[in-house]
Structure 1
Amino acid sequence: MKKIRTLSWALFDFAETVFSANIISVFFPLWIVNTLGGSSYHYSFVYSASIVLSIVLGVLTGKLADERGLKDRFFKLFVIGVIFLLYSLYFADSLISALILFFIMNILYQQSLIFYNSLLQDVSGDKEKGLISGIGIGIGYVGGVVSLLIANYLSETPTQTFLITAIIFTVFAMPSIFFIKSVRKKSANIRIKEILQDRKFLLFILSVLFLTDAAHGLIIFMSVYLNKVFSMSQNEIVNVVAFAGMFAIISAPVSGYILGKLRPSRFMKFVFIGWISCFILLVLSTKTTVYMVAVLFGIFLAALWTALRVVLIDISPSHQLTTRFAFMALSERMASIISPLTWGVIVFIFGESVFSYKAAAVALGIFPLIGLFIYLKFLRLLDV
């Protein structure tokens, strides 16, 4: 039964990466800009607004789930909501209806991730969590690549891509709904103030904010960047993203294996350095060399998501995991607000030009550098 729970947990990584790739990163923003008459700043502002609400909701539901032992039930509720709204998106026929559906759907999706990550401890042992995390990320990127290709080449309209995405998401999310169960131990009342007084935790969360700021900016705007800077078609964009995804598939379990041999907190330091290097190379790249830059982004994106939840579990009391994952999500979601707004403001000021998009990429590249300095302070407190 444990193997079934572990496999079901990993398969949800497949489903959630399908959502991230098809809805957040590629097809939905392109649909908003190219078909419904919107702009990238419409999408960025709606995305940011949904994140603001998910931040508040995440802390409240995470605390309640830890105190009452309900994290698996919350997880399943949010996943079912995402499935329903994904199918509803197929029937959207205007910019307003599409943005409203996305607003609600993204809130539910973000909540499901909080509980999903906290369930890693329930489906793995202490020595296995790095490898299982990496396997989940690897399976997730298989989902991202496969779903991008299927949705792109089998659909004739943008809304058909959403229907295909909904079907794939449903198939791979259902095992987690049926088989994942948490250890339902009620804990004492969790005091948010005590968590906020944990200096190591706060430094880690703050460093994560800056690093994931860059990651979310890349996920959200990479398709538009490739289109505006290199004049790539949708097919070319899908090929670049899929190419990067193939290397992410390989690097995720490799990262998980390394986490079992090397202290996860040390491994994260090299992830910061990798992201800084990738943004430098992105701004300097050409239409040919951007494929290699995409490969590096794929490798370090997989390493980031594999290591992040493992490090947090290592530095957190087990009875507060969901609440602390909610705070990590808060950090990530604040980054999801900052990076779209930063990108949107730069493009709005300088206009739709190659210069403005490269300037936005430079701005995002500064964030992991700031995060690295904060993370080094965190490592000094851990004495590693």
Structure 2
Amino acid sequence: MNNNSALMFCGYEYIVIYMIQVNKWKNIRQIAAWASYDITNTIFFIGVVGIFFPLWVTNDIGGNDATVGFTMSAAMIVSLVLAPFFGTLTDHYLSKVWYLGAFTFIAILAVPLVGEVPFIMALVLYSLSIVCIYLAGIAYNALLNNISTPQNIGSIAGIGVGVGYLGAVLIVVIAAEVAVDSGNIFGFRVSAILMFLASLPALLVLRPKEQHLDRIGLKAIINKTLRDLFIVFVEIKKYKYVSRFMISRFFYTWSLNTAQSFAILFGTETVGYSARHVEYLLLLGILVGIPSAFIWGKLIDLIGAKRSISIAMLFWSICLLLVAIAPSTDVLGNWFWILMGVFCGALIPGIWVTDRPLMLQITPPEKSGQFFGLHGMVGRIAYITGTFVWGLVVVTLGIGQQGAIINLAICTLIAFIIMQSVTVNKNSG
């Protein structure tokens, strides 16, 4: 990382510390440790999923969008099946920090082996890392409830996303300055090392006071999970705002995750930029996203999570439509893509920052693990659908990447419309 990047990294670290101190929060170490784990998430999803794996498949192996999309869909199907069970498990047995560490370390061990083994085995290891990071995310999301209050949950979530973007800056700089020449396999190795370092604070510092339900055996956990899922789906009317939120989340997660997964390929194949050029545009968006995450966090505390996420979704859909049309018109040339980097960088954190607080605001505290399991399941279904449909639209149907982007814009607009029917209240009913 060059000197300017290092200075920027340290500067945002001081911003985080200042935000924590100015709000006079007592659990500074816990908040900082929790937020640092978001660096692990962003390194994985921006670096491994968003840059190195797609480029490795298309440039080194000779695959295409369908190879990337269908592999992601397969991994999401596995995590979809497992997520509800592990959500229930975190409510009954062991600490959430234990699950966070176990699944994170499995992913860290799998990532550097991608590219070092036969192609099919590489796809299996890549899929395993995705499954583990998502299962770790169930515990991570639920831990937010242990370190926040209803008054500061938005700000703390904003800090988490903002700090996480520091990891994105680091991995994109490495991708543009080092991995472009050293290769994507080198990128996998560096990503694993950085993920390990970023996860340590949360695993070493966080010791939440958790009130577990009665410990039960594995068979009972499976039976309880199936029973709880049946109850949730059959009696969903009792949680009508949760159900509406989940439907909306399905569509905006479809849009966001798919866009982030295929941005590098869209930039290189449709727009015609080099991988390094696209990575610097991603870097621009990330640099804008870091302070934007903090601003969105404060906005949540001021106007509420629902209004905040609605604003972000509306403008995100507009940006997607413009991005889809731009390669055919090229009105502003390079300036258009610079502007899109700024706008998208400001809007994407607005959706991710509000997602967890809004979920917690409509969820009974004693069911946080179970409901975040359902929350994760919806995200996985969306990811399965989004990556599969992208490959289907681009390769199988031959419509192309611009048509796939328009589809993402439509998904976001659907999410926006459904979100307007969600009413936030403390009792989640």
Q: Same fold (TM over 0.5)?
A: yes
Matching of residue 79 in structure 1 with residue 116 in structure 2:
no
Q: Secondary structure of the residue that 1:119 maps to in structure 2? A: helix
Note the C-alpha offset of 1:13. Answer: 0.5
Note the C-alpha offset of 1:266. Answer: 2.1
In the TM superposition, what are the counterparts of 1:35-54 in structure 2 within 5 Å? 35-54=60-79
Specify the alignment match of 1:124 in structure 2.
Answer: 148
Specify the alignment match of 1:246 in structure 2.
Answer: 287
2:348 to 272, 285, 301: 301
AA aligned to 2:350 is A
AA aligned to 2:99 is F
AA aligned to 1:247 is V
AA aligned to 1:359 is G
Specify the alignment match of 2:360 in structure 1.
Answer: 313
Q: Distance in 1 between matches of 2:425 and 2:138?
A: 26
AA aligned to 2:386 is S
Q: Distance in 1 between matches of 2:75 and 2:268?
A: 25
8 Å Cα contact 1:200/1:381 also seen in 2: no
Q: Distance in 1 between matches of 2:107 and 2:76?
A: 15
Matching of residue 163 in structure 1 with residue 189 in structure 2:
yes
Q: Distance in 2 between matches of 1:192 and 1:67?
A: 16
Q: Distance in 2 between matches of 1:5 and 1:88?
A: 32
Note the C-alpha offset of 1:284. Answer: 2.6
2:249 to 197, 200, 208: 208
Specify the alignment match of 1:270 in structure 2.
Answer: 311
AA aligned to 2:416 is L
Specify the alignment match of 2:208 in structure 1.
Answer: 182
8 Å Cα contact 2:289/2:346 also seen in 1: yes
- Structure 1 segments, 4+ long, off by >6 Å, are 380-383
Specify the alignment match of 1:96 in structure 2.
Answer: 120
1:261-292 per-position Cα deviation (integer Å, ceiling 9, x unaligned): 11212222212212211111212324521221
8 Å Cα contact 1:272/1:368 also seen in 2: yes
Note the C-alpha offset of 1:69. Answer: 5.6
1:18 to 32, 43, 59: 43
Per mean C-alpha deviation after superposition, the further-off stretch among 252-261 and 280-289 is 280-289
- Cα distance change on mapping 1:363 and 1:70 into 2, 3 Å: same
Note the C-alpha offset of 1:323. Answer: 1.3
8 Å Cα contact 1:151/1:164 also seen in 2: no
Q: Distance in 2 between matches of 1:255 and 1:305?
A: 10
Q: How many residues align?
A: 379
1:20-40 per-position Cα deviation (integer Å, ceiling 9, x unaligned): 111111111111110012222
Greater Rg by CA: 2
8 Å Cα contact 1:43/1:99 also seen in 2: no
- Percent of pairs with identical residues: 22
8 Å Cα contact 1:283/1:362 also seen in 2: yes
Note the C-alpha offset of 1:93. Answer: 4.2
1:292 to 335, 339, 343: 339
Q: Distance in 2 between matches of 1:247 and 1:255?
A: 12
Note the C-alpha offset of 1:119. Answer: 0.6
AA aligned to 1:277 is I
Matching of residue 217 in structure 1 with residue 266 in structure 2:
no
1:138-195 per-position Cα deviation (integer Å, ceiling 9, x unaligned): 1111210121112432341221111111111111111111112232212367733443
Q: Distance in 1 between matches of 2:197 and 2:93?
A: 29
Note the C-alpha offset of 1:380. Answer: 9.0
8 Å Cα contact 2:65/2:395 also seen in 1: no
5+ unaligned residues in a row in structure 1: which ranges?
A: none
8 Å Cα contact 1:347/1:356 also seen in 2: yes
Note the C-alpha offset of 1:97. Answer: 2.6
- Cα distance change on mapping 1:380 and 1:74 into 2, 3 Å: closer
TM-score, structure 1 as length reference = 0.93
Note the C-alpha offset of 1:314. Answer: 0.7
Note the C-alpha offset of 1:374. Answer: 1.4
Matching of residue 65 in structure 1 with residue 90 in structure 2:
yes
1:50-72 per-position Cα deviation (integer Å, ceiling 9, x unaligned): 10110111100101211336322
1:317-359 per-position Cα deviation (integer Å, ceiling 9, x unaligned): 11111211111111111110111111111112354xxx61111
2:377 to 319, 330, 353: 330
1:195 to 211, 232, 247: 232
AA aligned to 2:232 is I
8 Å Cα contact 2:175/2:279 also seen in 1: no
Matching of residue 106 in structure 1 with residue 130 in structure 2:
yes
5+ unaligned residues in a row in structure 2: which ranges?
A: 1-25, 215-223
Specify the alignment match of 1:7 in structure 2.
Answer: 32
8 Å Cα contact 1:134/1:306 also seen in 2: yes
AA aligned to 1:107 is V
Q: Distance in 2 between matches of 1:93 and 1:84?
A: 13
Q: Secondary structure of the residue that 1:38 maps to in structure 2? A: coil
Note the C-alpha offset of 1:237. Answer: 1.1
Q: Distance in 1 between matches of 2:416 and 2:112?
A: 40
8 Å Cα contact 2:52/2:184 also seen in 1: yes
Note the C-alpha offset of 1:381. Answer: 9.2
| Two-structure CA RMSD over aligned residues (Å) | 2.0
- Cα distance change on mapping 1:62 and 1:346 into 2, 3 Å: same
Q: Distance in 2 between matches of 1:376 and 1:2?
A: 34
- Cα distance change on mapping 1:205 and 1:177 into 2, 3 Å: same
